[in-house]
Structure formats: C-alpha cells, structure tokens
Structure 1
Amino acid sequence: MTLPRTHGLTPVGDGARLHWTALGHARGRPPVVLLHGGPGLPDYLGDLAPMVADLTRVHRYDQRGTGRSPWRGRHTLARHADDLAALLDAWDAPSAVLVGHSYGADLAARFCLRHPGRAAAVQFVCGPFTGDWRAGYRAERARRMSPRERERLVALEGMHRTGEQEVELLTLAWSTDHADPERGRSRAARAARLRRPVNWAMNAELGEQARRDPLDARLDELGRCLPARAAILAGARDPRPVSALEALARRLSLPLVQVGDAGHEPWLERPEAVRAHLRGFVRDAVTA
C-alpha cells in the first residue's frame, strides 16, 4: 500500500519557517510527530516514519536553523517548544503522539512542561539523560576509540575545519554510538555526510540553556505534565549510560525497554525490535 506523502514550509511568527514532511492518513487520530536530535542537526528520522504511518499520519520536521528550515538568530529551549506547538496548530492537531530521539527526547519533555495537555503520548528514545551521566559517556566513548582516534578528535575539535575535516570529526564522534564497531564506523561516515551542515551555534546556545535550566530540577513537575502513556526506549549498548535512563524511569514511574545489541540509534541495528515496540506504543496511543 502506497501512503500519501506531503510537505510544507510553515512560518512560525518570528521570521523562522519550518520545513516538514508528513506520511500517511490522519484517520481522525492524533498524528505522530518525530523529534530529531542534535541540537543543530537536520531531521534524520525518515526510517522511523514508515514503521507506523499506516496507523496514523506521521510528521517530521527540521528544527529552525537546520536542514530546510531557514533561520538566523538566537535559539532558546522555550522557542523550540513553541515551534512544535505552532506546527501542531498549522496541522490542525490539538494533540500528538511525540517520539523524541536524543535531544528530541529533551525537546518532548520540555514541550510537555510548556504546553501541558498537548501530548497525547510520549515515547522517549535514548533520552532524555539526566543526572551525572556525562562523565560515564565520555569514558565509554574514549574506551571505544583508539588512542590515535582520540588524539585526532581533540585536534579536530580545536581547529577551524574544512568541509572534509568536519565530516572526519563527525565520523569519529559518532562511530562509537553503535554496538557493532565496524558497521558503526561506516554508518557514522554516511551520517556525517548526510546530516550537515551542523548548526554549532544552536548546539552551543541550547546546551548552555540546558545547563542553566536542567531537566533534573524539574522532574517532579514533568511527572505531573506527562500524559498517561509515556515510556522510554533505550539501546542497551548506547555509550551514554543506560543506568541514567533506568534512574529516570524509576523517578517518573515509566516503563523502560532496552533493545539488545543496539546503541544510540537502535533502529539502525535492530529495526524489527524497534518497529514492533513502536507500533505497539503508537497503536495503543491513537486507538485509546
């Protein structure tokens, strides 16, 4: 069955325009919105949309200043949450099932805090990471790299890079995200060429805001704002410590499913396991 595909460029009120695509029929149900990570990357969740698009319409979009969403200006976490609300209004969707990956999981959480009641359900994927998780992540990433790779990554991070050097940096940085190191390198190299240009200014601005206003300090509030259907999906071999997601799941009383032999993008390494879980979650959410 061929599903309809549409796209658009929606203004959101301050000069930014957000490029989006949609796959599938609305069917009178809340749509799914896929929230990509970064921050500062264009959308890369095209593999997830067909997994559930026969159940309800699935939207994806490039966050402002990335991909085909033109924007020059300062970024705020509140503005990014408001962008999603503006898109839901444009799509005539009072609520939606949010599926957020990595930074997209943080965005989904902050959307629930800022726009309570508009998330019909939330599926966090490999995030949001709270607590003291960064030291463990840096140590595991270093362990998965050779001394020469670590040295080269540090050198690239400190220089004004050419396009090819940017690809090299991203390949090194992302190669450890996968459970299989050999395939991980090839996947990272491919992603490094497709997920560009990276908006590093956006990455720095939102990272600094997240440090000033951490989700850790708002978890009780988040627990009150989350919809009844919310869950966490993790790659069991993500270099970011899964123990941080386990602690979050306990704190918020959320189910946590770990996908074995998969890293930070589990749908690339275990697509059928991710598909089965995601379909069950979305089916329950949109047919409730």
Structure 2
Amino acid sequence: MWDYFDDVVRLLGDGVRAVRWDQRGCGRSAGDGPYTIARFIADLDAVRVSCGVERVHLLGHSWGATLALRYALVHPERVASLSYVSGTGVDPDSTWKPTYAREVLRRIGADAPRWQELESRDRTPGEEREHAVLQWTTDFVDPATARERAEEFATPWWGINYVCSAAINGEAKRFLVDNDVPALCRSLAVPTLIVDGDRDLRPRWAVDSLERSLPDVRRVTLAGAGHIPWAEDPAGFRAAVLGFLASRDGGAS
C-alpha cells in the first residue's frame, strides 16, 4: 500500500522529525521489484542515508511493524528505538489467522456476501477499491463510523500491489518457519514499544511471544481501539509514543 501516516505525524507534533515514504512498487513509488524483504530493508536504509542520520527511531504499523523489526534485527546499531504498532508477532504457525478470518466476516456483517463475491474473482479497478473499503471497515471498532474511516484511507486511491503483497507475505512466512525468531529477538538490544488496540481483529495474543522475547520492551494496549489505534484513541496513542521516545532519546533523528 501507500503511506497513510498523515494523522500520526500530526499527533506527534513539531517536536518530531517524521520521514515517510511509499514502499517500492506501491502508491506513488515508481520502483519495480525485486519484491524481497532484503530489498525493502535496503530501501529503508537508503531513506535513512538520504536524511543524513546515523540512528533513527523506527515506527512501523501492521506489515510495517514486521519490516521495522526485521530492519532492527539486521541493523541494530542504526536503530535508537522501535515502535511496533498493530503487528502480528513471530508465531511460525500464524495461529492468529483463523480468528482473524472469522472476525473479518463477522465485522463486515450484512456486506459479507458482497465482499466474498468480490474476493472470489478478478475485479475491475472500481471493484478493487470497493473490496478494500469493505475489508478495511473491520479495522475500526465503531460500525457507525467504520465505513467513513475506511473511505478516508482509500482516498486518494493508489491501488494495491498484490504481486508485491504475495511475494513479501510469502517470504515473511518462510522466515518465521526457517528461523528461531524469538531467539533472534532475545539478542536485540533495541528499546521497543509495542502498541496494540485491544479490539484489533488480529488477536493480540499473537504478539505475546514477541513481547516475552525482547529484552527491553514496553507494551501499551489502548482500550476500545482497533487495528488503527491512532484513529480511535489519538490521545492514548500520542502519549504512548511520545512518552516512549522521550525516555529513549539517544541522539537519533
């Protein structure tokens, strides 16, 4: 997907220099493949270098949380802190996925037949956006405002790179299966903040093993928030992230 951190940057305020980008092959980025995590890590490092800084505070959301963690494992000396927001943990069996799939259908509710019909076939560009909006409503807790919030995320609509998604998700899965990731995390001397919304349809227990593995970790769970916690508890999200950054400011930009 594309960068959607406008609200996060506004929440963090002028005291933080925030740098964002559209990842390779996604959104406004014209970059083609290879769609590999190594390439995405190198792209992230290229952004760091272009900013002229040696160490950064990394904040990643959802897939971005996975990417930020992988970057920190490869380049811990370049990371002052890691904020891991709404990630899905390091379980090699992805045991959270059946719960997630059930919750998607439950939260879509009356629109589930339409979403399933779109999910089952090729879609026009307009149907691609409709399909995404229906699914993204499940990332928000309040059904009265979920559709409006999902529409905001889809505006402007840049399209989803499904080729990239399949390649990256497949590689991420293989990494969890082929490596003892909790053991790798136990040696990661990077201060880490885990931020969850307790109503995220991706069950939060999926992240428990990651929390247990990290030697320097703080976890904040925001009550009543879903997968996009800054949208539903902006004050709580701001306090968690800025409080963490203030306690971990080590000369990074």
TM-score (norm 1): 0.80
**Higher normalized contact order (CA 8 Å, seq sep 6+, divided by chain length):** 2
Assess, with a 3 A threshold, how the Cα gap between structure 1 residues 156 and 66 changes in structure 2: closer, same or farther.
same
2:143 is matched by which residue type in structure 1?
A: P
What code does the residue aligned with 1:261 have?
G
Deviation of 1:275 (Å): 1.0
TM-score (norm: length of structure 2): 0.90
RMSD: 1.8
Structure 2 match to 1:206: 168
Secondary structure at the aligned position of 1:143 is classed as helix
Tell me by how many angstroms 1:53 deviates. Answer: 4.1
SS in 2 for 1:97: strand
Gaps of 5+ in 1: 1-40
Alpha carbons 2:88, 2:202 under 8 Å: kept: no
Q: Where does structure 2 lack aligned partners over 5 or more consecutive residues?
A: none
Residue range with higher mean Cα deviation, 106-115 or 244-253:
244-253
Equivalent position of 1:158 in the other structure? 120
Map 1:269-288; keep pairs closer than 5 Å.
269-286=232-249
Q: Which one of 168, 172, 185 corresponds to residue 222 of structure 1?
A: 185
Contact 1:95–1:120 (8 Å) recurs in 2: yes
CA offsets 1:144-199 (integer angstroms, 9 cap, x no match): 232x5222222212222122211210011111111111211211122223352111
Return 208-217 or 177-186, whichever deviates more.
Answer: 208-217
Q: Secondary structure at the match of 2:248?
A: helix
* Structure with greater strand percent: 1
Aligned equivalent of 2:224, options 261, 271, 274 = 261
Q: What SS is found at the alignment partner of 1:62?
A: coil
Moved beyond 3 Å, runs of 4+: none
Give the CA deviation at 1:226. Answer: 4.2
Q: Does 1:92 align with 2:55?
A: no
User: 1:42 corresponds to which residue?
Assistant: 2
Equivalence for 1:134: 97
Q: Which moved more, 1:114-123 or 1:149-158?
A: 149-158
1:26 is matched with none
Instruction: State how many pairs are aligned.
Output: 246
Percent identity, aligned pairs only? Answer: 34
- The superposition leaves residues 211-239 of structure 1 with CA deviations (integer Å, 9 ceiling, x where unpaired) of 21127732211231241x21100001000
In the alignment, does 2:151 pair up with 1:189?
yes
